[in-house]
Amino acid sequence: MFRFLVRRVTGALVILLIISAITFWLFYAVPRDPAMMSCGKNCTPENLAQIRKNLGIDHSIPVQYWYWLKGVFAGRDYAGYGYCDAPCFGYSFANNVPVFDTIMDRLPTTLSLAFGAAAVFLVLGVGAGMLAALKQGKLLDKAASSASLLGSSLQIYFVGYIAMYYFVAQLGWLDQPSWTPLSDDPVAWFSGLLLPWLVLAIIFTANYTRMTRSQLVEQLSEDYVRTARAKGLSQSNVFFRFAWRGAMGPIVTVFGIDLGTLIGGAIITEQTFSLPGIGRLAVKSVDQSDLPMLLGVTILAAGAIVFFNIIVDAVYALIDPRIRLA
């Protein structure tokens, strides 16, 4: 297991390095000059040169990338701003604040949204899929399948606005979505994120219901499950000890990818409910052509997906003893 994790972590670092290089080139190769944008209307060549030096963009793109990479691991000295401690992702072109500090300020919102919604849709989706598989062909199975098909066709921006109109504005059952740090007020934190959690759960629950049902139905028809039944094991023992463990592999895989994607930034959800998370920061950075901030958000999103893929691979061996991590 240890050697496996070492190989995967090493491979993940290489992947992140490649992603950062490609992203850096794509973002910094755009024709818009951030120094010219920061300089304003009455810009002189001297001011423009000083701004380029302060932003660290007075070199070629490969040299800029090397300085940026060194800053991530060892810190970097920016003219006009001072020393940026590692991990240093540079300074924002839009408001001259450290990129890493800004991302860390927004990360708790995204983490709360991602983990809270994941807990809801995982329990509801997997639970509904299990019931549908146990009652295969019956009314409960047909109802769960129909509801999952309807839920998977909905969009967050549509469901979100409808839910806010009825449950917040008209009925007053839920509070207006907002962000309050958990340490400041746990009740306000929960009530402000409850509606976004439920809306995300509607979309994701449908997918997990269909996936869980299909995996369990397939496992229940396998030879080893029929053998377990023939040996006289109870239905619950056969279901949870054999069929359920065999069905968990694909579910865990998709869950790891979904959770990594949500942590990388639930852009549509955060925009719909005006939550100050990573996704909304990415949209704002695009509008402002804030290339360092975009690069930092991209690296965070890629890192979250790679990290959870490593976790999923490690969990495989615990879920299914047939899998060996060579």
Q: Which residues contact 73 (CB under 8 A, 6 or more apart)?
A: 86, 87
Q: Amino acid letter at 57?
A: I
Cα–Cα dist 148/201, whole Å: 11
pLDDT-based confidence at residue 320 (cuts at 50, 70, 90): low
Round to the nearest angstrom and report the end-to-end CA distance of the chain.
8
Q: Is residue 325 predicted with pLDDT exceeding 60? A: no
pLDDT-based confidence at residue 1 (cuts at 50, 70, 90): low
Average pLDDT of every residue of the chain = 82
Q: What is the pLDDT of residues 151-207, one digit of tens each?
A: 777 788 888 889 898 898 888 888 899 999 988 899 999 999 999 998 888 888 888
Give pLDDT, residue 37.
66
Max avg pLDDT among 37-46, 114-123, 145-154, 312-321: 114-123
Q: Is the peptide bond before 87 cis (omega within 30 degrees of 0)?
A: yes
Q: What is the pLDDT of residues 251-272, one digit of tens each?
A: 888 888 888 878 876 788 888 8
Range with lowest mean pLDDT among 118-122, 136-140, 316-320:
316-320
Q: Is residue 31 predicted with pLDDT exceeding 70? A: no
Structure tokens at 107: 């990360």
Q: Which residues contact 188 (CB under 8 A, 6 or more apart)?
A: 178, 180
Residues in the chain: 326
Q: Is residue 304 predicted with pLDDT exceeding 90? A: no
16/5: higher pLDDT: 16
Q: Amino acid letter at 214?
A: S
Residues 240, 283: contact at Cβ < 8 Å? no
Give pLDDT, residue 102.
92
Q: What is the mean pLDDT of residues 125-142?
A: 83
Cα–Cα dist 47/40, whole Å: 10
pLDDT-based confidence at residue 324 (cuts at 50, 70, 90): low
Give pLDDT, residue 125.
87
Give pLDDT, residue 226.
79
Quick one: which of 140, 136, 257, 139 has its CA closest to 208? 257
Q: What is the mean pLDDT of residues 291-310?
A: 85
Cα–Cα dist 197/114, whole Å: 8
Using DSSP's 3-state secondary structure scheme, residue 277 falls into coil
